[in-house]
Amino acid sequence: MSLEKNRTLVANGLILSIGCILAALLPFVVVPLALLIAMFAYLLKRWRITRPDVPTLGDMFYRGQVVVTTRVVLLLLFGTLPLMQAKTHVGALSLWFVYNFMVFLLVIVDVLISPRPENLSVERRMPRKLSIGRDNQVEIVVTNSSHRPLNLELVDEFPAEFSGDGRNISLALAQRTSRSCSYSVKPLRRGCYYFNRTVVRFRGLLELVVFQQEYGEACQVEVYPDIAAISRFELRMKRGQLAEAGLVTERRRGCGSDFESLREYVKGDEFRRIDWKASARKNKLITREFQSEVNQSVLVVLDCSRSMGAVVDNLTLLDHAVNSALVLGYQVMKKGDRIGLLAFSDRPHVFLPPGRGKSHFYSFIRHLYAIAANRVEPDYASALRAISATRLRRSLLMVITDLTSGEAVSKMLAAVPMVSRKHLTAVISVLDPKLRDIADAVPENVEAVYDKIVARTMIERVAGLSRHIEKIGIATMLITPQQLNSKLLSHYLQVKLRSQL
């Protein structure tokens, strides 16, 4: 405490000494300036007493909340022109002091008469869970409680991993009003990210200073698989766009083993479905109506190896597979069946046994959220061995991978018999559309010919070995990311309708 007091005394003494020397050298300039500064300081002190909650001007300049504009710099430069007309150094110095002090007073007046940053309030409204690869709306609501209109510049610091067009927003806001503006961000990776505070800038009435301040709090958002795809899918179903959504008619007469209802016999019905007791009571033929069984199990097996990290349409192949697994899981849960998940690369990473219900589906989403691609080669044997080691009832296994990479097909051919005896297995290979485009394109030079040969060789090799896998009773698909949703749903519904489980 005594050390700070000594420093204050030394500083005050130094200022007093310099002031006395300047007063002796330039009495006609320094003394009036000193009186003006003292009067101005007294007025600021009184204003500070009446408004203790408002930060001081010094604090505002020090914290960067108030910044002078280029107009002040130009005024200072123009002030050097009259100095050329001064005949003495004392006159030039006096004129320089007076002119700069007047510019300084103008800056202070601009700060005092302009609306304060405290008169603004900013609120960011957005969901805490965003969908990957989709435009997510962010709304900013600004309230101006001052008595003057303001032209604002908003800088909303969204994560650098997002793409968006709303980082800088210009907004004209009338006095005593609120106004909202919105922009969209597109997350390109799943995970946890942070939005920084919103920065607002506006000029003073004389446009000599710029006020800037941060509003709100930094908020955390989580980027999930494409949750919005579920709503879009449901909407397409309600509109009757079943073929486009990848669905087929679910109910098939005479299929399944779960009794649904009785109806009158029509020509073509199987005789074994006739209910003879009901027919005797009604004195006419009555047929039993069956529906597909519920409580069946579906296990999504996701490859998280190096090849699934390839980027297609700003998303990795793994992200496309995760989005499709989410839509499939929702439909499986909605139909009363069980959904599970196994994610692997060189070893199993995530295993969620098949279950049903909303709580299990939320757990399914959380597991999908945490999946990331690894820079290793896939080990199908270890993943399928882990499935065989569990006491898992007969299930539909949907293995989503990339068979065009390395020796993936031969590894799959060697490993898949471990589960094909007990489980109904389907291998879905996600194909980069660029590979198909190169294979079908007409080459224009020698390099393009080589690329076409390599692409066709890879596709034919995968197709040929896929036929070997199909010979042991395993369904295979070689599809693009855009076809994943429809193909997965169609295969699941076909298996369910045919009661193959």
CB atoms within 10 A of CB 404: 20
160 inside domain: yes
User: Are 309 and 439 within one domain?
Assistant: yes
DSSP E strand stretches across 216-363: 219-224, 258-264, 286-291, 297-303, 311-312, 315-316, 338-344, 348-355
Where residue 364 sits, what CATH number does that domain have? 3.40.50.410
Query: Of the residues 224, 246, 263, which one is the last residue of a structural domain?
Result: 224
Number of residues assigned to the chain: 501
Residue 45: per-residue pLDDT: 62
- Judge whether 138 and 158 are in contact, CB under 8 Å: yes
User: Are 482 and 365 within one domain?
Assistant: yes
Domain, as residue range, for 152: 117-224
User: Are 321 and 452 within one domain?
Assistant: yes
User: Are 344 and 398 within one domain?
Assistant: yes
Residue 373's identity, in one-letter code, is: A
- Would you call 255 helix, strand, or coil by DSSP? coil
Residue 303: per-residue pLDDT: 92
Per-residue confidence of the chain (501 residues) as pLDDT tens digits?
456 566 666 665 666 666 566 555 555 555 666 666 666 666 666 655 665 555 555 555 445 578 888 888 788 777 766 666 666 666 666 777 777 778 888 888 888 888 888 889 999 998 888 888 888 889 999 999 988 899 999 988 888 888 887 678 888 888 899 999 888 998 888 888 999 888 999 988 888 888 888 888 888 998 888 877 777 766 665 555 444 444 444 444 445 555 567 888 877 677 777 888 888 888 888 887 765 555 789 999 999 988 888 888 888 899 999 999 998 999 888 888 899 999 998 899 999 999 988 899 999 999 998 888 888 888 888 888 889 888 888 899 999 988 876 676 677 777 788 888 888 889 888 888 887 778 888 888 888 888 888 888 877 877 777 777 787 778 888 888 888 888 888 888 888 877 776
Residue 17: per-residue pLDDT: 67
Hey, what are 320's tokens?
A: 């496309």
CB atoms within 10 A of CB 350: 14
212 inside domain: yes
305 inside domain: yes
The β-bridge partners of 399 are 301, 427
Hey, what are 397's tokens?
A: 């296994």
Residue 142: per-residue pLDDT: 92
User: Are 126 and 200 within one domain?
Assistant: yes
Where residue 213 sits, what CATH number does that domain have? 2.60.40.10
242 inside domain: no
- Judge whether 225 and 326 are in contact, CB under 8 Å: yes
User: Are 430 and 320 within one domain?
Assistant: yes
Query: Of the residues 194, 224, 254, which one is the last residue of a structural domain?
Result: 224
DSSP assignment letter at 248? -
Query: Of the residues 224, 242, 267, which one is the last residue of a structural domain?
Result: 224
As for how many domains the chain has, the answer is: 3
Hey, what are 142's tokens?
A: 């600004």
User: Are 92 and 141 within one domain?
Assistant: no
- Would you call 484 helix, strand, or coil by DSSP? helix
Residue 457: per-residue pLDDT: 82
In order of 193, 205, 315, 460, the CA distances from 57 in angstroms are 36, 16, 49, 74
249 inside domain: no
User: Are 78 and 123 within one domain?
Assistant: no
232 inside domain: no
User: Are 101 and 217 within one domain?
Assistant: no
User: Are 386 and 365 within one domain?
Assistant: yes
DSSP assignment letter at 56? P
User: Are 341 and 489 within one domain?
Assistant: yes
By C-alpha distance, which of 159, 101, 501 is closest to 332? 501
204 inside domain: yes
User: Are 210 and 304 within one domain?
Assistant: no
The β-bridge partners of 215 are 198
DSSP assignment letter at 450? H
In whole angstroms, what is the distance from residue 476 CA to residue 445 CA? 35
42 inside domain: yes
- Judge whether 142 and 179 are in contact, CB under 8 Å: yes
In whole angstroms, what is the distance from residue 254 CA to residue 292 CA? 10
